[in-house]
Amino acid sequence: MSKTIKTINPYTNQVIKIYETFSDATLENYLKRGHQQFLKWRHTAIEERTALLERLGKTLAANRQEYAELITKEMGKPISQSLAEIDKCQTLIDFYAVNADQFLADALIETEAHESFISYDPLGCILGIMPWNYPFWQVLRFAIPTITAGNTVFLKHAANVTGCALLIADLFTKSGYPDGCFQTLLVTHEQIENIIADTRIQAVSLTGSEKAGKHIANLAGKHLKKTVLELGGNNACIVLNDANLDKYIKTMVHARMQNTGQSCIAAKRFIVEEGIYDEFMETFKQHIEAIETGDPMQEQTDLSVLAREDLAETLHQQVQNSVDMGATVHLGNSRKKTFYKPTILTHVTPGMPVFDEETFGPVAAVIKVENAQEAYKMAATSNFGLGCMVFTENTEAAKHQISQIPDGAFFINELVKSDARLPFGGTKASGYGRELSKEGIHEFVNIKTVYINL
**Residues with a known catalytic role:** 230
Q: Which residues pair with 237 in a beta bridge?
A: 270, 389
Which residues contact residue 95 at a Cβ distance below 8 angstroms, ignoring those fewer than 6 apart? 420, 421
Q: Amino acid identity of 417?
A: K
Give the relative orientation of helices 46-62 and 162-174 as an angle to the nearest 10 degrees.
120
Cβ 71 vs Cβ 164: under 8 Å? yes
Q: Which residues pair with 410 in a beta bridge?
A: 388
Q: Amino acid identity of 185?
A: L
Question: Which of these, 450, 446, 448, 25, lies nearest to 202 by C-alpha position?
Answer: 446
Look at strands 226-230 and 431-432 and give their pairing: antiparallel
Which residues contact residue 102 at a Cβ distance below 8 angstroms, ignoring those fewer than 6 apart? none
Cβ 243 vs Cβ 390: under 8 Å? no
Distance CA 17, CA 3 (A): 14
Residue 417 phi, psi dihedral angles, 5° rounding: -155, 160
Cβ 260 vs Cβ 305: under 8 Å? yes
Question: Which of these, 211, 332, 207, lies nearest to 260 by C-alpha position?
Answer: 332
Which residues contact residue 13 at a Cβ distance below 8 angstroms, ignoring those fewer than 6 apart? 337, 338
Distance CA 333, CA 371 (A): 29
Q: Which residues pair with 363 in a beta bridge?
A: 343
Distance CA 49, CA 251 (A): 37
Question: Which of these, 278, 357, 366, lies nearest to 329 by C-alpha position?
Answer: 366
